[in-house]
Structure 1
Amino acid sequence: MLDARWWQRGIVYQIYPRSFMDSNGDGIGDLRGIRSRLPYLAWLGVDAIWISPIYTSPMADFGYDVSDYRGIDPRFGTLDDFDALVRDAHGLGLKIILDFVPNHTSDQHPWFLESRASRESAKRGWYIWRDPAPGGGPPTNWLSEFGGPAWEWDAATGQYYYHAYLKEQPDLDWRNPEVRDAMLSVMRFWLDRGVDGFRVDTIHHLIKDSELRDNPPNPRFRPGMPPHRELLRLYTTDRPEVHEAVAAMRRVLDDYDDRVLIGEAYLPFDRLMAYYGQDLSGMHLPFNFHLIGAPWDARAIAEIVREYEAALPEGAWPNWVLGNHDKPRIKSRVGAAQARVAAMLLLTLRGTPTLYYGDEIGMCDVPIAPGEVQDPFEKNVPGLGVGRDPERTPMQWGGGAGCGFTTGRPWLPLAPDADRNNVEALRGDPGSILSLYRALIALRRAEPALAVGAYAPLAAGEGVLAYAREHAGRRLLVLLNLSSHPRRLALAAGAGGARVLLSTGLDRAGERVDEAAELRPDEGLIAEAQGAPG
């Protein structure tokens, strides 16, 4: 599979633009800041950067409430800044993937302002407006993902509008062909400017039940869970008609050379697979988030990999995610030692890996004082620990007051250890986690077996996850000790031993492994098999 597409062989690096690099001292990251750090990303070795929303927005949900899909928010820069970013990125061999937010707009978008002006508005049908229930009140029991009812009363026109998230984020009606045409035109606008693909936000929310049936209660709901989980989202997400919309998006991308369509959908494997589309005419990569919530246990992870590989449609390309802007950071979930093992896991499984900014330097979740909370989810349902600010804090570039991120006051607080745990300090340390990430990425680039090779699980004892990657007769073994105890892993009889190519400690390259591999606590190894596959 040496002719694999760039998005199959490559590594995607997610940038949360408010937090990556501030060029003007206002405490908020921007496009010029990202542009200034492109040489670092090229040095790291990633292939593509996915940038969370940068469109014009009132920022009720930090860019996921779009008021102009063809504009750049002034906080981030201008269209000229964006064009310069694309040009420089492409000059360095980096691809640009934009976030696309098709499910909802801002309530300040001209489309919605016109829609709510009157029931007779030409754009009334662009959003989901409904009369009250027969006895009064919201038309259904549907709940907002961010807490409270998902229907907002509009006194001026005497109807409710639906919003899956904030009331400032009214949902578009994708059953309306005018809406679909307008949004597909937005995609073409950015593709014509040179973007290499889209990550499509919350794709499974795009179509709602045409009969407006109530969602059933969730029998697993318990106090302390986010309130929207009180109901099963049977009639508000993952409706069968969504796949027609996904296929329409894919047809747009297919009119351009070598672009990628990635979809966000938190779904079980059996339902996620449908987003590849009939005959693979849907998403190139429906995001696979299952490692994010998995127990950090070798047996559990091995089962997830097995189930996922078995579920993939023929010819579909896998992908893996360990962190993003909505979930706690991997180091905070598994600890510093296992964060290195997690890096080796992410970059050696079969499929496209997505790396969240800062994970390569071991950033942790940062405690946010009540008076500093920015996330609307946390503000709407305080006390449940749903806030996403801790994993969105500024990138740690160097020492000093702003740690190289800003000369002003950062929009979220910096980590307490940012002055010593940063790119500048770790880049010069040959044993750092940053050095490990760079070595893993370089090895993945050098070894087709890691980039596009077949995957095969290997028998392993308690606490150890082991598998082989093979391509064109070259076989690599990945041995991961997910425990804090030393482990011994016997190699298959007749395998002829192995030679270590890389260890998470960056200190065992070239070491010979014969009958058994001795794994230190919290250690991973990648070894070159010397004999016939066992």
Structure 2
Amino acid sequence: MSRPAPAARRSLALSVPVLVLLWALGAHAAAPAAARATSASATTGRGWAHPWGRDAIIYGVVPSLFGKQPFKDLTVRLPQLKELGVDVIWLSPINQTIPGDFGYSVTDYFDLRSDYGTKDEFRTLVDRAHALGMRVIMDFVPNHTAREHAFFQDALRRGKASPYYDFYDWKAPGKPEHYFDWEHLPNLNFDNPRVDDMVIDALEYWVRDFDVDGYRLDVAWGVKERDALLWPRTRTALEQVKPSVFLVAEATAKDPYYFSNGFDSAYDWTLEPGHWAWEKVWEDRARIAPRLREALADATPPPGGMVMRFLNNNDTGERFVTRHGPDITRAAVALLFTLPGLPLIYTGDEIGAAYLPYQEPPPLEWEKDPHRLRPYYARLIALRKRLAALRSPRFSLVDTRPESALAYLRTRDDGGEPVLVVMNWNARPQSVQVKPPAGFKGALRDELSGEPVPVKAGADGLTLDVPAWGVRVLTPTK
């Protein structure tokens, strides 16, 4: 969650009057603000009923890690992502920002960062993704701007005489409100309807003019704290441009507000912003299974809500495979693709890339895959696409022994073939005893390995062997 303050500052070349003139003349607006819904009634996201979201595999893209010409180089690699099984790419912030920043210090919502490429190159990227059957969502930053944003600089210089002073929250003259230690990211003032208009205008612009398919909305929880009505108004406005728009909240999926106010998916967080629901699971290898069981039992999203599950993202620091090694990583990846929700692969996860997102790493060496993770990712993704139960919202934990084992049942909405996932979170092979769900009393097949699994039936349930850090994705043999 922490975003380091940028080391360098600069003045914007484009003056406030020019920026304001463009916006005021409606260069970016799709419809007058007065025409938008302003009702307090909620507009729900579609979540599990979304036409393509419920089946999607999402890939978080840091464009600069694809090459020195990010938009062009990413466009070239789109077929490889498609081949892996990716359905949606989520672009880390691509709006104009200050030099050396990851992108959350936005200086212009209606322009792109020049080091990534031109608008024409971005349009080519979106068009190519669509031609391959993939969707594109942008990371959009509505909670704050950079201090270097022309509006904020004008407000600093002129104080309350600036027409943009009320675009920001102030705790004292010259001292803007901000979250955490983000002193370089002043909060926007959502009590000002012109701020709402600016945000919605910008969101409409990229959907209407570039055909993007949705957004991951940064610090959505912070905007909710200050203006709970903005998100349903945003959903209504965007659906008028593209009815199938897809919205991900950077906020906890445990809060029903997001799914009843415009969002389709939200993060696998605790109720505390930025805290992964699984962050304490990995602290003690001997306790991974029981801690996972506790986390999964406590993390059921509200009805209809779709949780975005991840091992890495822009805020998780050192990569999962670096911290925990390839064996635990393989088992954890199996969780992503066999649990209900929206599975996220972040840039380079599938090749075991090691980097820190905010440290300006060089482009990845995409042909290197030291742990042979890419074929494993591809196999799990293909399995998820083939077995409908793995894409449903239905999930229940199953009793197992020993304590280092974990099992859960995935069932289909239509009552079709179920899937039983059995995991061994131990460095040694183990015989795992499972209380058999209905339909799992005969011979079983491991869909991950493609082989039949010998099972011993006893009074206390089924017993099967599972390799060290191993996973069985089981279906009844017909």
Q: What TM-score, normalized to structure 1?
A: 0.71
Equivalent in the alignment of 1:275: 258
1:100 is displaced (CA, Å) by 0.5
The answer to whether the 8 A contact 2:264-2:306 is kept is: yes
Distance, in Å, in 2 between the alignment partners of 1:258 and 1:103 is 24
Distance, in Å, in 2 between the alignment partners of 1:389 and 1:292 is 24
Residue of structure 1 aligned with 2:140, choices 87, 100, 121: 100
Structure 2 gaps of 5+ residues are: 1-46, 270-275, 283-287, 457-462
Equivalent in the alignment of 2:349: 359
1:294 is displaced (CA, Å) by 3.0
Residue of structure 1 aligned with 2:77, choices 29, 37, 46: 37
Equivalent in the alignment of 2:464: 517
The answer to whether the 8 A contact 2:398-2:434 is kept is: no
Distance, in Å, in 2 between the alignment partners of 1:3 and 1:100 is 24
Q: 1:199 to 1:438 in 2, by over 3 A?
A: same
Give the 3-state SS of the residue equivalent to 1:354 in structure 2. Answer: strand
Does 83-92 or 114-123 show the bigger shift? 114-123
Distance, in Å, in 2 between the alignment partners of 1:61 and 1:204 is 22
Equivalent in the alignment of 1:253: 238
Amino acid at match of 2:175: Y
Amino acid at match of 1:73: R
Equivalent in the alignment of 1:317: 306
Q: 2:101 matched to 1:61? A: yes
1:315 is displaced (CA, Å) by 2.3
Equivalent in the alignment of 1:205: 222
Q: CA RMSD in A?
A: 2.3
Distance, in Å, in 1 between the alignment partners of 2:56 and 2:328 is 24
Equivalent in the alignment of 2:339: 349
Normalized per residue, the structure richer in helix is: 2
The answer to whether the 8 A contact 1:243-1:282 is kept is: no
**Aligned residue pairs, count:** 404
Residues 302-339 of structure 1: CA distance to partner in whole angstroms, max 9, x if unpaired? Answer: 22111112xx3222223312210111322123221111
The answer to whether the 8 A contact 1:191-1:197 is kept is: yes
Distance, in Å, in 2 between the alignment partners of 1:159 and 1:4 is 44
Distance, in Å, in 1 between the alignment partners of 2:404 and 2:277 is 16
Does 343-352 or 454-463 show the bigger shift? 454-463
Residues 165-218 of structure 1: CA distance to partner in whole angstroms, max 9, x if unpaired? Answer: 5443222111211101111100000111211110011122226xxxxxxxxxxx
The answer to whether the 8 A contact 1:184-1:252 is kept is: yes
Q: Larger RCO: Structure 1 or Structure 2 (Cα < 8 Å, ≥ 6 residues apart)?
A: 2
Residues 391-426 of structure 1: CA distance to partner in whole angstroms, max 9, x if unpaired? Answer: x6642213xxxxxxxxxxxxxxxxxxxxx536xxx8
Amino acid at match of 1:128: D
Equivalent in the alignment of 1:215: none
1:263 is displaced (CA, Å) by 1.1
Q: What TM-score, normalized to structure 2?
A: 0.79
Give the 3-state SS of the residue equivalent to 1:457 in structure 2. Answer: strand
1:36 is displaced (CA, Å) by 0.9
Residue of structure 1 aligned with 2:122, choices 66, 69, 82: 82
The answer to whether the 8 A contact 1:103-1:205 is kept is: yes
Residue of structure 2 aligned with 1:389, choices 359, 370, 374: 359
1:3 is displaced (CA, Å) by 7.1
Equivalent in the alignment of 2:68: 22
Distance, in Å, in 1 between the alignment partners of 2:68 and 2:134 is 20
1:292 is displaced (CA, Å) by 4.6
Distance, in Å, in 1 between the alignment partners of 2:365 and 2:337 is 22
Give the 3-state SS of the residue equivalent to 1:318 in structure 2. Answer: strand
1:512 is displaced (CA, Å) by 2.8
Residues 128-187 of structure 1: CA distance to partner in whole angstroms, max 9, x if unpaired? Answer: 2343xxxxxxxxxxxxxxxxxxxxxxxxxx532223354432221112111011111000
Residue of structure 1 aligned with 2:292, choices 297, 301, 304: 301
Equivalent in the alignment of 2:193: 177
Q: How does 1:327-342 map to 2 (within 5 A)?
A: 327=316, 328-342=318-332
Q: 1:473 to 1:337 in 2, by over 3 A?
A: same
Structure 1 gaps of 5+ residues are: 24-29, 132-157, 208-238, 367-374, 376-387, 399-419, 427-431, 503-507
Distance, in Å, in 1 between the alignment partners of 2:221 and 2:303 is 22
Distance, in Å, in 2 between the alignment partners of 1:89 and 1:197 is 14
